[in-house]
Amino acid sequence: MRNSRYIELGTVKNGRKAVSTDHQETTYEYQRTQSGLVREVVSITSTYTPVLENLDHIITHLDVILR
């Protein structure tokens, strides 16, 4: 496996631990970033609530008038 493109983890326990630690750190960073993005999206979309409620009232009013 000397000329392989893959890391051989079976023979080096330390290497496996390092990869595991890197994976955990990367996973934590991903989850933290994802959580921040979700918070931002919810914050932005919540600003549309009053506009959509107003649109609902207008459509309801038009529905009554046009029937």
Give me the DSSP letters along 20-67. Answer: HHHHHHHHHHHHHHHHHHHHHHHHHHHTTHHHHHHHHHHHHHHHHHH-
7 domain-assigned: no
56 domain-assigned: yes
Domain of residue 39: give its range.
13-66
- Digit-coded pLDDT (tens) for 4-58: 787 665 665 565 666 788 888 999 999 999 999 999 999 999 999 999 999 999 9
6 domain-assigned: no
Count of structural domains within the chain: 1
8 domain-assigned: no
3 domain-assigned: no
38 domain-assigned: yes
61 domain-assigned: yes
5 domain-assigned: no
pTM over 0.75: no
